Amino acid sequence: MKVGIESLAVHVPHYYLDLKTLAEVRGVDPGKFYQGLGQEKMAVPPPDEDIVSMAANAAYRALEGIDASSVDTVLLATESGIDQSKSAAVYVHHLLGLPANCKAVELKQACSSGAVGLLMALAYVAVHPSRKVLLVTSDIARYRMKSSGEPTQGAGAAALVVSAEPRIVELGQESGSYTEDVMDFWRPNYMDEALVDGKYSIKVYQRALLRAWEAYASLTHRSLDDHHRFCYHLPFTRMAEKAHLHLVHAFAGGKTRGATTDALAKIRSSLHYNRLVGNSYTASVFVALSSLLDLESDLEGRRVGLFSYGSGCVATFFSGVVLPGYRNFVQAERHAALLREREEITFQRYEEFYNYRLPRDGSECATPRHQTGLFRLAGITGHKRIYERVAAEPAEDRQGTPERKGAVASIS
Ligand code: HMG
């Protein structure tokens, strides 16, 4: 029986800051961000967009054309949680009008909980082939202003329907994992921004990659050459280039001639979206996969290796084979339109969005209305977040993406 990804959709905020603008204000050579980090733009969520609204927007698209009554599990992976108790998955379940006989939980371990959630979903549908799992990954990457992490911010969500009727990628359940208790990046409950030991985090990422790959390779007996493409967790795209070369130099069996160019060709297409969006933590490896599948049309039957790294740290290497006809099911045109139609913001607007805070004392607030997807955070009342379905059709719907019938409840 095949298990894997039946559908995959990405949502990113409508607003972005060009890193040339950030470089100018911070007095830094833009080459440091564009070439040194490999990032051009970073998504900046407006006040009425949070991980729930982004997740619902991605999940709505992932469920298009799929019978939502077969979804009996919603897993929402995030490290930008909005509540210490109630899971963001329950809000998404409600916004999408999913069946009541369903379980919905939130998963956390920095950027790696999405990939671990995917492996849990695969094991579940292998035992229950008539059921589908909706896996949603959604995050807002925030660092202190003026810190070295600032240019590696970003935001986004990716949603996957995992089932025994995969149409895009068949995934294997064998994975190689690595866990080590390190303080390379963390966010205490009382902070809105992550703390990070940046240079150290890069070293741990690379170490974890080698250890996870070794575990995966010894289980599967596959070599690097058995993988046509690789997708990495992408805090910034140069990270994947460094990491992949590190892996190749460690395990490619001494083949060095032309190795760098060949190796980088294996990850190039997967970097495109993230270069324009920035870090989306749990979502980033799936945004990378989406970028690869949307940009390359000759991947049928090819094996793709996926590496997920979550600071703290937990890393996982696994792989899948792209299915015949996958181009009919990827959302390449919608993703292209989503990215193309975004709005560039000034540095002042970035500061305004960044500094916006929801009340913490239970007082009522209506969030200022900006362009979001189909769902937005309308405000807070009595310590409760209120979400709403946007009445006006976003541009992407007007341009021909068919509305999904039936599955979405109206939200009051
Ligand atoms: P930094 O110290 O400001 O940057 O912060 P740098 O001085 O290391 O420069 C970066 C690169 O730009 C260097 O290239 C420079 O040479 C180059 P490299 O030597 O590395 O190849 N450079 C230039 N290139 C062209 N033209 C120029 C120029 N100037 C310099 N003019 C750092 C960089 C990544 C440390 C910082 O942004 C940071 O702390 N980011 C956040 C942490 C992070 O992303 N870590 C990655 C691994 S951990 C991870 O992925 C997990 C995470 O997603 C969280 C989670 O799991 O939840 C973060």
> In terms of residue numbers, what domain contains 108?
4-389
Q: Which residues contact 31 (CB under 8 A, 6 or more apart)?
A: none
Please report whether residue 397 resides in a domain. no
Please report whether residue 347 resides in a domain. yes
At residue 393, the pLDDT reads: 53
At residue 261, the pLDDT reads: 85
At residue 262, the pLDDT reads: 86
64-98 in b/e burial notation, b at 16+ Cβ within 10 A? Answer: bebebeebbbbbbbbbbbbeeeebbbbbbbebbbb
Report the distance separating Cα 103 and Cα 89, nearest Å: 9
Please report whether residue 396 resides in a domain. no
At residue 255, the pLDDT reads: 59
371 lines ligand 1 (CB under 6 A): no
Please classify residue 267 by burial: count the beta carbons closer than 10 Å to its beta carbon, then call 0-12 exposed, 13-18 middle and 19+ buried.
Answer: buried
At 151-163, the pLDDT tens digits run: 999 999 999 999 9
198 lines ligand 1 (CB under 6 A): yes
Please report whether residue 132 resides in a domain. yes
- How is residue 69 annotated by DSSP? G
Report the distance separating Cα 245 and Cα 250, nearest Å: 8
Token readout for 252 is 């490619």
30 lines ligand 1 (CB under 6 A): no
148 lines ligand 1 (CB under 6 A): yes
**Omega of the bond leading into 313 within 30 degrees of 0 (cis):** yes
Phi and psi dihedrals of 395, rounded to 5? -55, -40
Nearest-CA residue for atom 44 of ligand 1 = 235
At residue 409, the pLDDT reads: 32
Q: What is the CA radius of gyration of the chain?
A: 20
Report the distance separating Cα 246 and Cα 232, nearest Å: 13
- Is residue 3 within 8 A of residue 149, CB to CB? The reply is no
Please classify residue 288 by burial: count the beta carbons closer than 10 Å to its beta carbon, then call 0-12 exposed, 13-18 middle and 19+ buried.
Answer: buried
At residue 308, the pLDDT reads: 98
Comparing CA positions, the residue from 10, 31, 12, 4 lying closest to residue 20 is 31
At residue 329, the pLDDT reads: 98
Catalytic hit among 6, 49, 106, 111: 111
Token readout for 411 is 């939200």
Give how far Cα 197 sits from Cα of 35, 194, 201, 308, Å: 21, 10, 6, 19
On whether the pTM is more than 0.85, the answer is yes
At residue 392, the pLDDT reads: 60
**Chain center to CA of 401:** 22
Q: What is the CATH number of the domain that holds 122?
A: 3.40.47.10
Please report whether residue 412 resides in a domain. no
At residue 410, the pLDDT reads: 29
Positions in the chain short of pLDDT 50: 395-412
- Is residue 315 within 8 A of residue 241, CB to CB? The reply is no
- How is residue 188 annotated by DSSP? -
- Is residue 106 within 8 A of residue 64, CB to CB? The reply is no
Give how far Cα 187 sits from Cα of 49, 77, 79, 191, 311, Å: 20, 16, 9, 6, 11
Among 109, 196, 231, 233, which residue has the most ligand 1 atoms within 8 Å of its CB, making it the best to mutate? 196
Could you give the angle at which helices 284-295 and 113-127 cross, rounded to 10 degrees?
70
At 73-104, the pLDDT tens digits run: 999 999 999 999 999 999 999 999 999 999 99
Catalytic hit among 79, 106, 150, 241: 79
Please report whether residue 394 resides in a domain. no
Among 32, 275, 279, which residue has the most ligand 1 atoms within 8 Å of its CB, making it the best to mutate? 32
Comparing CA positions, the residue from 8, 29, 2, 99 lying closest to residue 306 is 8
What is the CA(337)–ligand 1 centre distance, in A?
29
β-pairing, 365-366 vs 343-344, is unpaired
At residue 257, the pLDDT reads: 57
In a 3-state reduction of DSSP, which class is residue 246? helix
79 lines ligand 1 (CB under 6 A): yes
Report the distance separating Cα 301 and Cα 320, nearest Å: 9
At 300-338, the pLDDT tens digits run: 999 999 999 999 999 999 999 999 999 999 999 999 999
Q: Count of domains in the chain?
A: 1
Residue 1 identity = M
Among 51, 145, 185, which residue has the most ligand 1 atoms within 8 Å of its CB, making it the best to mutate? 185
Please report whether residue 395 resides in a domain. no
Q: Which residues contact 349 (CB under 8 A, 6 or more apart)?
A: 15, 44
185 lines ligand 1 (CB under 6 A): yes
Please report whether residue 333 resides in a domain. yes
Is 6 annotated as catalytic? Answer: no
Sheet holding 41-43, edge to edge: 41-43, 15-18, 343-344
Token readout for 178 is 């690595």
